Amino acid sequence: MINSIVVPVEINLSTYFKQANKNVPEFTTGSDKPCSGIRYEFQFQKDSFNITTINNHLLSELHGSYWIKMEYCAACSGLLSETPFCLNPPIPFSCGINEKRPSLRIRFATELSVNENYGLSTHTTIDELKSLNPCEVTLFRFDATDEVIKEVKKTLKKQCEETDKQLSAISFQKEAGDLWKNMNQAVRIPYLGYIHFEPISLSLVKPRLDQNKLYTTLVLNCKTYLNQSSAKTPVSDLPRLNIIPSTPKDTFDLFTDFELNYDSISQLFTEQVKGKTIDFKKNHFEFLGVKVSGLDQKKLILAIQFSGTKKGILYLQGIPSFDNKTKILELTELEYDLKTKSILLKSAKWLFSNRIYSELEKATKLDLSTQFNELKKSIDRNLQKKTGDFSLQGKTHDVSVVHIFPTTDHLYLRTCLKAQLNVKQ
């Protein structure tokens, strides 16, 4: 049976955010000085840089201010000089010098995904580049902001590439490799054998972002089975990663045959009825003990030893059934075997009374809730273990009987074990 084991993964991005802030240059400079027209040089200063996670998106916002020096040359000539020169004295003008600097707001958006090699893949772009107070020179009706934005964009595109480079260093390969190797387990369960977890594939839930953290879940898909051998199957190389949209159910189902010894069942029946008495029309009946055996592949036979008005053994046969809610094993379609019927008809017809039959019905019901609770506790204890850097944390939700097989030697209960297994680092 294929089952899933989930491993929550949480990565704090604060360190990355600090590094990204350091990688944004404090100053960006540029210039353009043609012979004629507008000439300029500028300096852009980073005032603040913040990265946040909002609505499952990674958003960066850069605020900065700048100054720009400009001059205007109406006409230019190179006839009388090797270096072209302005025919008239250039007209200087500026923004942000000896006055409040104009400012810009730049927003970045990062698309995030995971590749089949267990690494992050990102694509960062400039989502918005907006002037908060433009640098406009009234004399020439010239807005220098566009020139500054053009130059700043060149620098910021490199910043986008750097952002993607840093995020690509985040990988889940180590965690996945350790999980793949360490979860090849054979966990011993007393009285049942070994539960085997055999990895066959790995998946990763599409990451989500919240409060400056990246959350995802590694999902180990494995064969789960139970046998009497502790030998583990050799683990293969780490497979390529599958990306899935959501975390699958992390409860696994395991079918196994639970063997009950007839001597043990007989003892449980005897402990439950020994010493109980029935008085009926001057007749006295006392239970002494019960012995259970298999009659065929469908029925059980109970030999009930009794004393009182009469002494002897009653042989009852019936079909075993199990109530998973109450955890009671009982015999249905209960009847005396033919030999017992013959003897009772000759010597003790009163044992056929409804009162006696009703008490015999009760005597053929066995409460196994204690045994099943102990079984669940035993499984849970053995599913708590340390393996490498991971801790297994198992919890049994239910052990239910899906079929009963009586044999001449044992009573087999085919059970479905529902359990949850989480792995934490």
Dump pLDDT digits (tens) for 80-92. Answer: 677 788 888 888 8
| Domain-located, residue 337 | yes
Task: Read off the pLDDT band of 288 (50, 70, 90).
Answer: very high
Does one domain contain both 39 and 149? yes
Split into its structural domains, the chain has a count of 2
Does one domain contain both 153 and 286? no
Does one domain contain both 15 and 154? yes
CA separation for the pair 389, 175 (Å, rounded): 9
Residue that is last in its domain, among 117, 133, 167? 167
Does one domain contain both 133 and 272? no
Dump pLDDT digits (tens) for 17-46. Answer: 787 778 788 888 888 888 888 888 889 898
Residues above pLDDT 90, as percent of the chain: 4
| Domain-located, residue 239 | no
| Domain-located, residue 277 | yes
Does one domain contain both 153 and 302? no
Dump pLDDT digits (tens) for 113-131. Answer: 888 888 888 888 888 888 8
Closest residue by Cα to residue 372 from 411, 403, 394, 401? 401
The SS3 assignment for 337 reads coil
Whole-prediction pTM: 0.58
| Domain-located, residue 142 | yes
| Domain-located, residue 76 | yes
Does one domain contain both 148 and 18? yes
pLDDT value of position 137:
64
- Asked if residue 340 has pLDDT above 70, the reply is yes
Closest residue by Cα to residue 133 from 199, 53, 64, 226? 64
Does one domain contain both 32 and 158? yes
Does one domain contain both 29 and 148? yes
Does one domain contain both 158 and 266? no
Among all chains, which residue has been given the structure tokens 């965690």?
175
Neighbours of 244 (CB within 10 A): 14
Task: Read off the pLDDT band of 191 (50, 70, 90).
Answer: low
| Domain-located, residue 377 | no
Does one domain contain both 23 and 137? yes
Residue that is last in its domain, among 103, 136, 167? 167
| Domain-located, residue 226 | no
Residue that is last in its domain, among 366, 383, 402? 366
Does one domain contain both 302 and 163? no
Cβ pair 340, 348 in contact under 8 A: no
Dump pLDDT digits (tens) for 237-264. Answer: 888 888 888 887 767 777 777 778 888 8
| Domain-located, residue 292 | yes
Which residues constitute the domain of residue 284? 261-366
Kindly report the average pLDDT of the chain as a whole number: 82
Cβ pair 212, 402 in contact under 8 A: no
